[in-house]
Amino acid sequence: MWTIDYEDLENIAVGAGILGTGGGGNPYLGKLMTRRYLDEGVRIQVVTADSVPDDATCASVGGMGAPTVSIEKIQRGDEPLVALRALEQYTGKRVDYLVPWEIGGTNSMRPLVQAAKSGLPVVDADAMGRAFPELQMCTYSIYGVPGTPAAISDVRGDIALFPIASSDKLLERYARAVTIEMGGHAGIASPIMSGADMKRTVIPGTMTFARDLGAAVRAAREQLTDPVQAVLDVCDGQTLFAGKITSVERRMAKGFSRGEVVIEGLGDDRGETMSIDFQNENLIARRGDAVIATVPDLICIVDSTTAEPVTTDVLRYGLRVTVVGIPAPRLLKSTAALDVVGPGAFGYDVAFQPLAGVYGSER
């Protein structure tokens, strides 16, 4: 068990930003919200998944919506907790532990904010090991813990509950549709589950991993060593490309930020081009016409000098960036998982060719 301090918060924000693979929302606002609680002396405790009793009640909390909206539409901050309380009221259960839904992006911060407000501990784990655009793309759903009952809540305190859905993919569509009507962002609480189910399905240690990743990057910046190399070291990652962003095509479609970013090579990659498609998160990276990385592996765009994550919402012409490939967690690479989070699930007729290496929290 550890308690979040200011350094942890800075580190998690950087690490989770990188693991967000472009999406998951920019952690900056979530970091500011959490910092306010630390200023007030609130303690936010992080516990290992292993330490959670089988019969405890856990719930995953986070935010739903497009990253581009989350920086434009300021949140109240407790939307996921309002959703959680509605879920508790509906099920008659009291939740003992909060679990991050996705460690990537600001959804790493949202559980911390809810923990600060509720006093509940946060489990050092998540259900993506990164960020994904859709609700069913999580290890809970892939390994048999249904997303229902689920609750969402918006900045006004409006609530929608989804007691039963034929599939988590339909739950995603229902919740997404209401999220759009709520203005493009909602807090979500889903699933509610036993400690045993949580432990069986989560990717453990990802909060610590995000923290350690961020710490290594920040240390490299301070020591004037190469922050991008620090990412590669901590993540068992590889540089896929380095260059300058020359084109960003980005549109809001059905509640998602979709588009493509094009990077012209510099240094060793001069004369080459990389294009990356995204749906909130980066999905597929092509060098020229050749696919060199796809989901579920992590395709991360970072500032070439500072390794600061460059999220979908801040991609712009002229940024010097390095594209880092990070191997996905083992639980995302099973046959069952690839049906949900592999390139085919996003409409690409491409086989998943895993990047070499082991996901950070599994090393």
User: For binding to a copy of itself (CB under 8 A), which residues are involved?
Assistant: 86, 90, 156-166, 170, 173-174, 176-178, 180-182
Cβ atoms 118, 153 nearer than 8 A: no
189, 51, 131: which is closest to 313 by C-alpha? 131
Q: Min. distance of Cβ 92 from a copy of itself in angstroms?
A: 11
CB-nearer residue toward a copy of itself: 92 or 288: 92
3-state secondary structure 165-200: CCCHHHHHHHHHHHHHHCCCEEEEEEEEEEHHHHHH
> Is 59 or 300 the residue whose CB approaches a copy of itself more closely?
59
Three-class secondary structure of residue 72 per DSSP = coil
The contacts of residue 90 (CB under 8 Å, 6+ apart) are 149, 151, 161, 163
Q: Which is nearer to a copy of itself, 166 or 335 (CB)?
A: 166
Q: What is the DSSP letter of 276?
A: E
* Distance (Å, whole) CA 58 – CA 11: 25
Instruction: Measure the CA angle with vertex 57, ends 53 and 59; round to 5°.
Output: 120
Give the nearer residue to a copy of itself in terms of CB position, either 140 or 162: 162
The strands making up 281-287's β-sheet, listed across from edge to edge, are 290-294, 281-287, 273-279, 256-265, 238-253, 320-326, 298-303
Would you say 84 or 231 has its CB closer to a copy of itself? 84
Residues 6+ apart with CB under 8 A from 313: 26, 67, 68, 70, 71, 257
Q: Give the amino acid at 238.
A: Q
Return the bridge partners of 197, or none: none
Q: How far is the CB of 154 from a copy of itself (least distance, A)?
A: 9
Judged by CB, which is closer to a copy of itself: 36, or 254?
254
| Distance between CA atoms of residues 157 and 51, nearest Å | 33
Q: How far is the CB of 284 from a copy of itself (least distance, A)?
A: 26
Min dist CB 134 to a copy of itself, Å, is 13
Whole-number minimum distance, CB 65 to a copy of itself, in Å? Answer: 14
Minimum distance from residue 226 beta carbon to a copy of itself (Å): 47
User: Taking the complex as a whole, how short is the minimal distance between the CB of residue 173 and a copy of itself, in angstroms?
Assistant: 4
Q: Residue 16's closest CA among 95, 118, 110?
A: 110
- CA dist., res. 253 & res. 137, Å (int): 19
The span from the CA of 156 to the CA of 263, in Å, is 40
CB of 160 to a copy of itself, least distance (A): 5
In the bound complex, what is the minimum distance in angstroms from residue 315's beta carbon to a copy of itself? Answer: 29
Nearer to a copy of itself, 219 or 253 (CB): 253
Closest to a copy of itself by CB, 12 vs 171, is 171
Q: Among residues 36 and 156, whose Cβ is nearest to a copy of itself?
A: 156
